[in-house]
Amino acid sequence: MKTQLELAREGIITPQMKKVAADEGVESGWVREMVARGEIVIPANPGRPDQKVVGIGTGLRTKVNASIGTSSDIKDIELEKRKARIAEEEKADTLMELSTGGDLDLVRREVLAVTSLPVGNVPLYQAFSEATRKYRNPNRLDPEYLFELIERQLADGISFMAIHCGINRFSIERLRRQGYRYGGLVSKGGTFMVSWMEYNDRENPLYEQFDRVCGLMKKYDAVLSLGNGIRAGAIHDSHDRAQMAEMVINCELAELGREMGCQMMVEGPGHVPLDEIAGNIMLEKRMSGNAPYYVLGPLPADSGAGYDHITAAIGAADAARHGADLICYITPAEHLALPNEADVREGIRATRLAARIGDIARDPARRDREKEVAIARRDTRWEEHMELLMFPERARMIRQERTPENSRTCTMCGDFCAMERGISLFRDDIRGDKCGHSVVQP
C-alpha cells in the first residue's frame, strides 16, 4: 500500500485530499502538491476507514489535539471513553491516547471504538510500562519488543505516533556537558529512553533503526510525529543546547522520512517565553523544510498551575499566528493531576479559541466571521449573535442566568446599553454602512 505522500508524488489526488480541500475551502490540486512536498500530512490508517479526515500543515486551519489516558493511580477505562467522546463533542481535531495504567491494549481498543477522530499515541509509554511490570526495571526493555508493539498499535488503528527518534548519544552528551536543567526532563518517553540508553550503554534503537520505524509507519500510512523527549520543562531551559540538539536531529529525520515516503511531523517546544515562540517556529520550519509542527502548549510561564489552560492558550495563539500546525491542548489540571471530563472540555475550548485567534492574525481572510459576530452584536440581534459564536451554548446559559428587563440589552449595561443608544444617533434614512450592512433597526 502506498502512503498519501507517495500517491501525491505520483500526481494522484486521493479521496482524503479531496475531503481536506473541501473542508478548508482550497483546491484539491493544491492540497496534493503540499502533501507531495511534505508540508501537509493526513493521518489515514486504512484500518479505520470511517475516521474523520484531517489535514495538518501549511495553509490550513490550525488544528487542536486533545490527550487522554489512564495513569498508574487512575485506571478507569470508562472515564477515558467519556473523555474521548467529550473531545469529539468539543470539536477537537485529533486525539492522543496516552495510557500508562491498566490493560493498555484494552484501553486503546476501547477508546478507538468510541471516537471517529484520528487517534495517536506514544508507543514508549506502553513499552516501558510493560517492562516495568514484567522485570521491575524499565531499562530491561527488549528493543525487538518495542518494534513488535509499534506494529500492534498500528494494526489496532493508530493513525499517528509520537516516537522519540531524535534522542541519541549526541543529544544526551549535550545535556551532560551543559550540566544543568532548571525544569529537568519532563517527557515520560524521553526520560525512560535516556535512562535505557545510559543503563545499557547503547544507542537509541528508534534512532539507530530509523528506516525500520518509517517502514512500519508507511505500512499503515500513519504519520510519524518526531517526539521531543528533551523539550524544555521550564522557560529558563528554553532553547538550551540539549533541546536544540534534538530539534536539529528531528528536523533532519523529517527530511529523511519524507525521502522514504513516510508522512512526517516534528514536535516541540514545551515551555517557551512568549518572545521566543516565533523564533522557535521559524527554526523548525527552516530546518525541516516546512514539515508540519506539532506544538505542546507552548507554555510561556511556569507559575500558572491551576490555570495552565490559559497560560498555554496565550502561547498557542502566538504559535498559531507564526505557523504552528497542530496544537496539543493543556488542561487546568496540567502539572497537578490527571484531567477529568470538565478539564478536558475546558482545555479544548481554550485551545480552540487560541488557535482561532492565531489563525485570524495570520490570515485576514479568516476574519469575515468575526465581522458577522460584531454586526449582530451591534444590532442586538441576540439569537443570530449566539449562532455565530464558537461556544453558543455557554453564551446562552450565561445570558439566561442573568436575564435583562429589556430583552434587547444585557444586564451589564441595562438601560445604559451603548448599542441601543448608538443606533439612535443615525438618521432613519441611512440604511447601510460602507460594507453594505444595516446600521439601524428596520
| pTM recorded for the entire structure | 0.93
CA-to-CA separations, 91 to 84, 115, 277, 344, in angstroms, rounded: 11, 12, 25, 12
Position 249, amino acid = I
pLDDT score recorded for residue 286: 97
Mode of pairing for the β-strands spanning 63-68 and 293-299? unpaired
Look up residue 81 and give its three cell numbers.
Answer: 471513553
| Phi, psi of 63, rounded to the nearest 5 degrees | -95, 160
Domains identified in the chain and CATH numbers:
62-362 (3.20.20.540), 367-423 (no CATH)
- Partnered with residue 161 across adjacent β-strands are 121, 224
For cell 506514544, the residue is 122
Instruction: Walk along the chain (442 residues) in steps of 10 and give the mean pLDDT of each run.
Output: 96 98 98 98 95 98 98 96 98 98 97 98 96 95 97 98 96 92 93 96 97 98 96 96 96 98 96 98 98 96 98 98 98 97 98 98 93 91 93 93 87 82 52 46 38
Q: Which residue in 289, 216, 229 sits closest to 256, CA to CA?
A: 289
For cell 516541540, the residue is 268
Distance CA 206, CA 183 (A): 25
CA-to-CA separations, 349 to 114, 251, 255, 375, 394, in angstroms, rounded: 21, 30, 34, 24, 11
For cell 477515558, the residue is 80
pLDDT score recorded for residue 207: 98
Mode of pairing for the β-strands spanning 40-41 and 264-271? unpaired
- Nearest 5°: the CA angle 183, 188, 193 is 105
Distance CA 71, CA 77 (A): 11
pLDDT score recorded for residue 415: 83
Q: Which residue in 288, 1, 36 sits closest to 17, CA to CA?
A: 36
